Amino acid sequence: MRVAVRDVLGSQQFGLTAIIVLLGIVLTFAAGSHTDAAGVTHNNFLNSYTLIQVATDASFFAIMAVGATLVIVSGGIDLSVGAVYAVAGVTMALVLRAVGPVSPTATVLIGMVTALGVGLLSGLLNGAMVVGLNVHPFIITLGTMWVLRGISFVSSHAESILVPPSLMMAAKATLGLGGALSPIPMLAMILVTIVGSIYLTRTVMGRHIVAVGGNPEASRFSGLRLGRVQIGVYVLSGLTAGIATFLGASFYGSASCADANGYELYVIASAVVGGASLTGGKGSAVSATLGAILIVMMRQAIRTMHLDQNYEWIIVGTAIIVAVVLDRHGTTLLARRMARRATKGVGPADARVASSEAPPSVMVS
């Protein structure tokens, strides 16, 4: 029981949750309160509308962060998620415009299939080029980011394209919570996070992703097909971008080539702040979602304290650096602890031999 409690308290999710709660307490006191027409006093932050709005703001790039986490865990990187979002949204809007008036159910299904299909094909393109061309994924996804963004620009003629009202009605369904509350994006974020966590931790393919990211050579010698795993994670990253596109374009009622501009930073920051290691082999879907919520709450704190909005970029960039440094420091401490355990109980001479023959990953100074 004591060991289980210690594991929970030392987990990445507990630390992120504690920071989110602490920041929420600070915002509750800093935001002040207001009185409505009925004379009831409400806190400007700690109320159902603001909390669901925070979750909604986080949901679109948190969903993409789950897919991007799979890529990062496998040892890759995906810089094209924002561009995939834009091209999927523009394509969905153009297809629905071409189809014309149909039933609300058919409209939703056509929009969903189009957005998810474009996202999936974009991810497949990324994965196939990373594996087939044997080029670093940073370069491949940087290139596809510009290509896909350009395609969305040309096809939309740089215009914002409205989507049918039935999509907005579906994305903004209140589910009985009241006219001002729209929990659909938040619920979708939770569902994608749960599915992503189960996939990464409870399935054979998830374990293969972790193995490939942790030690590609050992995975290859053990019989794993690295190319299939690498293509698979990019397909899933594109699929989650398609899901986010469908929800985002439907929620806001339009799609344009400028949508999700800069989301690459938020998505990667969410994964890294959530503990994903950029060297591969480590990451969590739940932590990525918590990282996205934390970033949105930082943005909320900037607005609450009436600071310049440009501070947002400074804070997010600093958070990425701090998270990577802490991850590196934690990895170094773990390697030193493993080295001490490996040499514990042997004589000085044997310890020197053991340390001299230890692999570089263990001998971290």
What is the pLDDT averaged over residues 319-343?
A: 72
State the pLDDT at residue 351: 45
pTM for the predicted model, two decimal places: 0.85
Higher pLDDT, 97 or 181: 97
Taking phi over 0 as left and psi of -120 to 50 as alpha, with beta for the rest, 349 belongs to: alpha
Distances (CA, A) of 8 to 3, 14, 17, 138, 323: 9, 7, 11, 34, 20
Place of tokens 């159910």: 105
* Higher pLDDT among residues 308 and 217, named by residue: 217
Sign of CA dihedral 257, 258, 261, 263: negative
The answer to whether residues 264 and 144 touch, using CB atoms and an 8 Å cutoff, is: no
- Predicted pLDDT of residue 330: 65
In order, the DSSP letters of 19-65 are: HHHHHHHHHHHHH-EEE-TTS-EEESSSSHHHHHHHHHHHHHHHHHH
Q: Are the beta carbons of 233 and 71 closer than 8 angstroms?
A: yes
What phi and psi, each to the nearest 5 degrees, are found at residue 344?
Answer: -70, 130
Residues whose CB is less than 8 angstroms from the CB of residue 152 and which lie 6 or more positions away in sequence, other chains included: 83, 86, 87, 89, 90, 91, 256, 257
- CATH number for 46-307 (one of 1.10.3470, 3.40.50, 1.10.4040, 2.60.40): it is 1.10.3470
Average pLDDT over all residues of the chain: 85
Q: What's residue 232's pLDDT?
A: 95
Eight-class DSSP state of 346: S
Residue 36 has pLDDT above 80, yes or no: no
Predicted pLDDT at 335:
65
In this predicted structure, which of 137-146, 158-167, 171-180, 292-301 has the lowest mean pLDDT?
171-180
Q: What is the DSSP letter of 276?
A: -
pLDDT in tens, 183-236: 899 999 999 999 999 999 999 999 999 999 988 888 888 888 889 999 999 999
* pLDDT tens digits for range 61-104: 899 999 999 999 999 999 999 999 999 999 999 999 998 888 88
**Range name among 4-18, 144-158, 305-319 with the lowest pLDDT average:** 4-18
Q: Which bin fits 129, alpha (ψ -120 to 50), beta or left (φ > 0)? A: alpha
Lowest mean pLDDT among 196-210, 272-286, 348-362: 348-362
Q: Which residues of 62-76 are buried (b: 16+ CB within 10 A; e: fewer)?
A: bbbbbbbbbbbbbbb
User: Predicted confidence band at 4 (pLDDT cuts at 50, 70, 90)?
Assistant: low
Cross-strand pairs, 34:
42
**Strand, helix or coil for residue 284:** coil
